[in-house]
Copies of this chain bind each other. A is one copy, B any other.
Amino acid sequence: MHNIRKPPTMADVARRTGVSPMTVSRAFKRDSSVSQETREAVLSAAEELGYVFDSTASNLRSQRTDFIAVTIPSINNANFADTVRALSDHVSERGLQILLGYTNYDVAEEERLIEQLLRRKPEAIVVTGGKHTPRARKLLSNAGIPVIETWDLPEEPIGHVVGFSNALAVREMVDHFVSVGYRKIAFIGGDADRDTRGTDRRAGFIAALKDHGLDAPRLIAAGPPPISMREGANAMGQLLERFPDTEAVICVSDLSAFGALTECQRRGIAVPDRIAIGGFGDYEIGAISVPSLTTINAFASEIGAKTAELILDVLDGKLDRPGRVTIRPDLILRQTSR
């Protein structure tokens, strides 16, 4: 027996409780001043009526949505997922909710997504990376809310930044590889410029080799991002055929590095004795695989946590100028390299 009538509103709850709608509204907030007694009466009346608080009305009137908009390249990437989870955990304590979208590693898609997200009037917007279309930059600048760029250190930040230099992180690995004697070092990454962090990593690789007086002819393009295990395996196959004397390879992520490792295993090529492998991102697989992967920990969760902290500070008015949190990635040496 289900009446098909309009769902109850605060006015209905108010009537039933014998108070004004305003009091009902207050009862549903955490901190507003309502007597304990009244609050309980209101809430139980609401429960009886099956009342569900209507955020849409609240959002319009109060000009607050308690949304934090977030864009990531892919929803299916453990690094970004870690960042989002940490971010979500921290801001949800304050009643803020993540509104997530993914760009598929495409700045045009990112622009569309940013526009769509801004229409929802979030309290702040977090974007992954520091490269955007001009219109996206403009939209973000004019949004009138805190903008946080992450996973990168843009030269001209739009607002706040919580990130690290992808190029420098890879350079650290190159430096180490050269210091232990590797000279013929290759890089496996995505095509062209879609994944801007991947592109930065490759650029860092080339620059680092150059500083050691080494050329970088061994660049393997593994296809359009996302570059995952399968692409890594294929790329390793190409590398072994085109440059069989390669001594070490740095991959754009642990996923491709693991794929590359398995290709070596399939071909009976000893890792690291015949070829060393380095990854990026400190994914769980790198710690567990046999042999375990040398990699770079970019502290994905910490990026999320720091971003949350920054957002809360800005919303509390505790920070009036653009914040810049620099994460220092860590080189983790494991079994796939010396």
Residues of A within 8 A of B (CB): 7, 50, 52-57, 59-60, 63, 65, 75-76, 78, 81-82, 84-85, 88, 97-102, 115-116, 118-121, 139, 142-144, 228-230, 233, 255, 258-259, 262, 265-266, 284-285, 287-290
Contacts and interface: CB of A to CB of B under 8 A. Distances in A.
Given A50-B142, A56-B63, A258-B285, 5 more contacts: A52-B142, A53-B119, A59-B59, A76-B78, A230-B284
Contacts of A63: 56
Chain A, interface SS category: helix
Contact of A52 (B52, B100, B119, B266): B119
A21 to B, nearest CB: 16
Interface centre among A57, A233, A265, A289 (most CB of B within 10 A): A289
Contact of A287 (B55, B119, B230): B230
A266 B143 CA distance: 54
Contact of A119 (B54, B120, B259): B54
B100 A98 contact: yes
Nearest to A233: B288
Q: Give the one of A65, A75, A98, A142 with max B CB within 10 A.
A: A75
Contacts of A139: 52
A259 B115 CA distance: 42
Contact of A99 (B56, B99, B116, B144): B99
Contact of A229 (B55, B59, B285): B285
Given A56-B56, A59-B59, A230 B120 contact: no
A289 B233 CA distance: 10
Contact of A65 (B52, B56, B102): B56
A285 B262 CA distance: 10
11 contacts: A52-B115, A52-B142, A57-B60, A76-B85, A88-B102, A97-B101, A228-B284, A229-B284, A229-B288, A230-B287, A230-B288
| 6 closest A-B pairs by CB | A76-B81, A56-B59, A265-B290, A229-B288, A55-B119, A56-B60
Contacts of A289: 262
A260 to B, nearest CB: 10
A55 B121 contact: yes
A57 B121 CA distance: 10
Contact of A266 (B85, B255, B290): B290
Contacts of A228: 284
A100 to B, nearest CB: 6
Contacts of A285: 229, 258, 285
Nearest to A259: B288
A285 to B, nearest CB: 7
A113 to B, nearest CB: 10
